[in-house]
Amino acid sequence: MNIGITCYPTVGGSGAVATELGKQLARRGHSVHFVSYRLPFRLDELTGNIYFHEVDVTSYSLFEYPPHELALAAKMAEVSRENRLDVLHVHYAIPHAIAGFLAQQMLGKDAPKLVTTLHGTDITLVGQDRSFFEITRFGILRSDGVSAVSDFLKKMTVDEFDVDRRIDVIHNFVDFSLYERRATPRERAAFAPGGEKVLLHVSNFRPVKRVLDVVRILGRVVREVPAVLLMVGEGPERASAHALARRLGVHDRVKFLGRHDRIEEIMSLADVFLLPSELESFGLSALEAMAAGVPVVGSDAGGLPEVVKHAETGFLLPVGDIEGMAARTIEILKDDEHRRCLGQAARARAASLFNADRIVTQYERLYERTLGQNANGRG
């Protein structure tokens, strides 16, 4: 098939999944065309049958804000026409599904099918803003195929937007070939020179991730277990987390590492992964930790219970239960055998349910059903 993919190119779960999906599809022989205003942050192999088409958003004095969505729709139509795309797969309902719909209207009978994947905040936050509600619902209903990354997100979409249409649940995935190795003692010593246990948090540092809870958990853990905390990512709550670490007297134990594209290298350092979010539509970073054999301690909110099996691959507690999360983290860190068992179970669960081969095949079947023809399509 000839497949177009549009996603946000910035750091985040949706962009990571969309990019990894494109790479996996290309390895299976499909032609994959990424359309975005910047090279997606994990797209590091523009070879063979992977192509990137940049959206040029020109500023005119007539417009107070650059017309990104119109430029995106025009580029989608251009790429579809010139490359005879079978499918336009967009990640996020708005603005990408709307841009895809406009591209279809421009192309008429020669338009590719439009598949939309819902990732989370397009439904849980943006879509529920009343000013975006109708257009989000329109994008979902006008797509030829729709998928959601968790059962939780599918149910929320149906309930909140009152949509009576098929929505396939296709979970996120990881490439397990990237998570084979563990960090060497020397690599760990760079962050934990005294042999401390290593806690890890990876996110966009937005309020919904509750990064201040992560720092508070560390504050309780170090009372009983020598530990350091690695904080990976950038976002609005970073400064607050840094200030809180200083107030709690643990600033020398917190390492802010910024953005890292090769997250598997960081995951291999961790003993416990912390994800106490207010809400996770899926929890891709938790899955990445599990793939590296790292137990997860987090919140039992949203789609995270579909990923982490409580008491088998980690522990899930109510949102805001800092004491409980800290106690479970201490329990894991004090018992190396228990930690290894949890980590082995985590990797086995991830490998069984969320491996790339299984999930990418589900996307191929969604494309085939949407096209109503065999996988060869027009490509």
pLDDT in tens, 15-24: 889 999 999 9
pLDDT of residue 58: 74
Query: Above 80 in pLDDT, residue 358?
Result: yes
pLDDT in tens, 294-351: 999 999 999 999 999 999 999 999 999 999 999 999 999 999 999 999 999 999 999 9
**For the ranges 9-18, 124-133, 135-144, 359-368, which has the lowest average pLDDT?**
124-133
Q: What is the pTM of this model?
A: 0.92
pLDDT > 90 fraction of the chain, expressed in percent and rounded: 79
37 by Cβ neighbours in 10 Å (0-12 / 13-18 / 19+) ranks as middle
Specify the CATH class of 2-173+355-371 in words.
alpha beta
pLDDT > 70 fraction of the chain, expressed in percent and rounded: 93
Q: What's the CA gap between 210 and 212, in Å, rounded? A: 5
In angstroms, the first-to-last Cα distance of the chain is: 5
176-353: same fold as 2-173+355-371? yes
pLDDT of residue 37: 86
Q: What's the CA gap between 60 and 124, in Å, rounded? A: 33
pLDDT of residue 189: 96
The first and second tokens of residue 12, run together, are 């985040």
Cβ neighbours of residue 333 closer than 8 Å, sequence gap 6 or more? 197, 221, 225, 227, 271, 272, 339
Domain ranges of the chain: 2-173+355-371, 176-353
Q: Which fold has domain 176-353?
A: Rossmann fold (3.40.50)
Query: Above 90 in pLDDT, residue 88?
Result: yes
The first and second tokens of residue 207, run together, are 């309020």
- Contact call for residues 22 and 91 (beta carbons, < 8 A): no
Query: Above 80 in pLDDT, residue 11?
Result: no
Query: Above 90 in pLDDT, residue 266?
Result: yes
Q: Helical H runs in 202-320? A: 211-221, 238-247, 263-267, 284-291, 304-307
pLDDT of residue 126: 61
pLDDT of residue 128: 59
**For the ranges 91-95, 121-125, 228-232, 359-363, which has the lowest average pLDDT?**
121-125
- Residues 53-89 as b/e (b if ≥16 CB within 10 A, e otherwise) read bebeeeeeeeeeeeeebebbbbbbbbbbeebebbbbb
**For the ranges 58-72, 165-179, 209-223, which has the lowest average pLDDT?**
58-72
Q: What is the mean pLDDT of the chain?
A: 92
Residue that has been written with the tokens 């090279």 in this structure: 39
User: What are residue 298's DSSP bridge partners?
Assistant: 275, 316
Query: Above 90 in pLDDT, residue 129?
Result: no
Q: How is the beta sheet containing 31-36 ordered, strand by strand?
A: 50-54, 31-36, 2-6, 87-91, 113-118, 145-148, 168-169
Average pLDDT over residues 114-120: 95
Comparing CA positions, the residue from 75, 86, 135, 153 lying closest to residue 115 is: 86
Query: Above 70 in pLDDT, residue 257?
Result: yes
**For the ranges 23-27, 68-72, 373-377, which has the lowest average pLDDT?**
373-377
